[in-house]
Amino acid sequence: MSSTTEYIVHHLTHNNVIVSDQSSGFWSIHIDTFSMSLLLGFIYLFIFTLLARRAKVENPGKLQLFFELVVEMVSQQVKDVYHGKKSKMIVPLSLTIFCWIFLMNLMDLLPVDLINFTNHLAGNPEAHWRVVPSADVNATFAMSISVLFLIIGYSIKAKGLGGWGKELISAPFGIYALPLNILFQLLELVTKPISLSLRLFGNMYAGELVFILIALLPWHTQWLLGVPWAIFHILIITLQAFIFMVLTIVYLSMAVEKH
């Protein structure tokens, strides 16, 4: 039993590098999350920059059509959901969120022991390497907190600093319920990034955990659960990326609308 626990814990431990020996514990970096997401981000940029370079108006190739489909879907979502003034940032932002999260989530479909196997081959079986960046709260919170700043920025840009401040103290109950208004507004602001990031994190973490549990079964029965779960997970990873993107657009749209 202890070996099972060890196995799971080993799989769920980050490759943590402490960058400062302060006692707070904040100044350390999950090298696995950081490098994996960076790599995936570059893959995303490489593909789409190539697409943008080579995109032809006439006779697009199949590959171009596929990526155009993704871009078209994202820009259609923005068109449908975002009602604010035209923004140069919102479509690229949504596209980045969708593709990056999708790629990060996609790492969940790698066999859970693949990395450990290569570590083993490399002669370092004890090394930790969690391959799914979106199953790390740091990655999801980094994105959702960035979105929070964008929400505030969009609000201020649309309504002015005064307008936003006024809304913060006077909506939804009028100026006489000032403390209550501030409480509500702050709650509204804070819950957005938390729900965004925890939803994604929870789904990916749970998915990873289930894969690890399946990997504990005898090898000849693993496919019985592993295949359905993997197929189901293809849906989940796409859906989670999509939800994160759409909610970001919704929040930004709400940010520029008057209450």
Partner 1 sequence: MEINATLLGQAITFAILVLFTMKFVWPPLNNMMEERAKKIADGLAAAEKGKQELTAAKSKIEEELKHVQLRATEIMSNAERRSDQIISEAKERAVKECEKIHSDAKAQLEQEIMRAKEQLRMRVGALVVKGAEQILKVEIDQGRHQALLASIKAEL
Q: Which residues bind partner 1 (CB under 8 A)?
A: 16, 19, 25-30, 33-34, 37-38, 41, 44-45, 48-49, 51-53, 55-58, 68, 71-72, 75, 88-89, 91-93, 95-96, 100, 133, 136-139, 141-143, 145-146
Smallest separation (angstroms) from partner 1 to the CB of 167: 26
**CA distances in angstroms from 154 to 97, 105, 168, 239, 258, listed in the order given:** 17, 28, 14, 26, 12
Compute the least distance from the CB of residue 239 to partner 1, in Å: 21
Angle at 136 between CA 135 and CA 142, to 5 degrees: 120
State in angstroms the smallest separation of the CB of 127 from partner 1.
18
Measured from the CB of residue 92, what is the shortest distance to partner 1 in angstroms?
4
* Closer residue to partner 1, CB minimum distance, 185 or 200: 200
| DSSP bridge partners of 16 | 30
Q: CA 96, CA 46: separation in Å to the nearest integer?
A: 12
Q: How many angstroms separate the CA atoms of 209 and 40, rounded?
A: 22
- Rounded distance between C-alpha atoms, residue 135 and residue 233, angstroms: 14
Q: Which is nearer to partner 1, 54 or 83 (CB)?
A: 54
The nearer residue to partner 1, 68 or 257, going by C-beta atoms, is: 68
195 is catalytic: yes
Residue closer to partner 1, measured from CB, 50 or 186: 50
Name every residue whose Cβ is closer than 8 Å to that of residue 119 and which is 6 or more positions away in sequence.
125, 127, 129
Active site residue 16: no
What are the structure tokens assigned to 116, written together?
């450990």
Active site residue 181: no
Distance of CA 81 to the CA centre of its chain: 20
Strands 28-30, 16-18: pairing is antiparallel
User: Which of 15, 195, 197, 253 is the catalytic position?
Assistant: 195
Interatomic CA distance for residues 144 and 243, integer angstroms: 12
Active site residues: 195, 199, 203
